[in-house]
Amino acid sequence: MLCELCGKETPLTSRIRIEGTILNVGPECVRFGERIDPPPSPSGAATAALRPRPGVGPVRPAGGRRLEERDLYQEIGEMELAPDWPKRVRTAREARTWTPEDLGKKLNEKKSVVLKIESGSFRPPDDLVRKLERLLQVRLRAEAEPASSG
C-alpha cells in the first residue's frame, strides 16, 4: 500500500491526524502527525439508536371545527322580495276569487299560513315564494336591477 503523506510504497500503514485530516501513512511518516487508534470494528454497535421509533406519527392539530353559516342562510331563504309582497299575494289571490283556504290547499299549506303570508307576518321560504309566483302568476321578488346596456 501507499503512504498517503509521501506516496511511497510501504508494508503497513498507520492512521495519523494532521491538522484535522486523517491519513494512512507509512512508519516513517507517523511522526508528522498525531497517531490515532484504529476505529473499533463496525459490527452492529451504536447504530440502533438512530432507528425511528414505530407508532409515533406526526402530530395532527386538534379540532377541525367548521362553521356552516352559508347552509343556514340557504335554509332560511335569502331571496329578496318586493316591499309589498304580502299585498301582491292577496291581490293576486282575490283576482282569482280564491279564498285563503283555496290557496292554502294549492300550496299544501294551512289557511293560517296563507293569512300570515298576506299579512306579512310570515316570510315564506324561497320554494314557497316560487310556488306562489307560479300559482298566482305574480312576481313577489324584488325587481331585478335593470340591464346596463340600452
Helix (H) or strand (E) holding 135: helix 126-136
132, 89 in Cβ contact below 8 A? yes
By CB under 5 A, tell whether 26 contacts Zn ion. yes
Q: According to CB under 5 A, which one of 1, 2, 6, 76 is a site residue for Zn ion?
A: 6
Shortest CB 17 distance to Zn ion, Å: 15
Q: According to CB under 5 A, which one of 13, 14, 16, 29 is a site residue for Zn ion?
A: 29
Mind giving me the DSSP string for 59-77? PPPS------HHHHHHHH-
Residue 86 grid coordinates: 304580502
115, 64 in Cβ contact below 8 A? no
Interacting span for Zn ion (CB under 5 A) from 6-14, 55-63, 93-101, 141-149 = 6-14
Shortest CB 37 distance to Zn ion, Å: 19
Give residues in contact with Zn ion (CB under 5 A): 3, 5-6, 25-26, 29
